[in-house]
Amino acid sequence: MSVPEKTKQALQEAFYLFDYDKDGRIAASELGVIIRSVGLNPTERLLKEMSNEVNTKGGSADLNSLLQLISNKYQDMTTTAAELTDSFQVFDKQGNNTVSVADIKHGLSSLGERLTEEEIDGLFREADPNAEGTCNINGQ
């Protein structure tokens, strides 16, 4: 899976925004902020792996190196609709395409990537805008 042109353009803009000293390089420590600012969702493990790769090459990356690094790992930073559906169904105990916010909060805070309470609440402001306490797989 290749990086869409729109994402490449957003990465370029983010790169120049975070290149504070305008030397054409960004520090390995800034990778996560840049990558997430364009809507990609790497795991902490993947970010650490990418940072280590940049660190072995002098601790910073130019734009071309950043784009190449992201291109190599792009598939690991995106989630398909089928993967989301499979994940959602783990929590759908009644099989009605609806899960409780409490069940998802528990899963997000205790399984896999640990999310803070603030991050989880932010997700649910979008997923459950009416504060009904449930989320529907169709976003309703």
**Which of 12-16, 75-79, 96-100, 120-124 has maximum average pLDDT?**
12-16
Going 91 to 89 to 99 to 127, the CA torsion angle's sign is positive
Q: Which two tokens stand for residue 106?
A: 């528990």
- Express each pLDDT in 9-34 by its tens digit: 999 999 999 999 999 999 999 999 99
Which amino acid makes up residue 34? I
Q: Enumerate residues 6+ apart whose C-beta is below 8 A from 90.
A: 107
d(CA 140, CA 29) in angstroms, rounded, equals: 38
pTM: predicted TM-score of the whole model, two decimal places: 0.59
Segment 39-51 mean pLDDT: 88
Which amino acid makes up residue 102? A
- Express each pLDDT in 52-76 by its tens digit: 999 988 999 999 999 999 998 887 7
What are the chain's domains?
Answer: 5-77 (1.10.238.10), 81-136 (1.10.238.10)
Q: Enumerate residues 6+ apart whose C-beta is below 8 A from 33.
A: 18
